[in-house]
Structure 1
Amino acid sequence: MSNRLVCICNMVSEQEIINELKKGAKDTSDIQYATRAGTSCGKCLLTIDAIVDEFFATQPQDPQGKLNL
């Protein structure tokens, strides 16, 4: 995790994206809504996707989430 600038157009850092994920953002769309990252030119969308994927890959899995009732 770093404080590198991910979205140059809207001046959004990786740390800001991580903070939004910790607050409950679930996907790139939520990140876009909360930070405006990826809403101008879109070049950073793949990077945002990767940060979101990495964040959730390192989170503990909820065993109850596997139940399909």
Structure 2
Amino acid sequence: MDFLLLRLNRARVVIECDGVQHYANDNGSASPRRYAEMVAEDRELRLRGYEVHRFGGRNYRNRTMPGSCSAGSSTP
């Protein structure tokens, strides 16, 4: 679990930011076993009343926050 949000309305939200190690073998190939374990963990959290949001870390690699800029990048 990367982040846990405890809302005033008693909602419990889990945010996962996953790298390739969560669903692939050490050589980078897809691992059905690791993926199944990840899905089972999500299911267990949901059964315990948590809302789960999972994001792939690769989606955010080398990106800047909206409104910020980094050296060598241009903003649209």
- Return the TM-score normalized by structure 2: 0.34
Structure richer in helix, relative to its length? 1
**Bigger radius of gyration:** 2
- Return the TM-score normalized by structure 1: 0.37
Structure richer in strand, relative to its length? 2
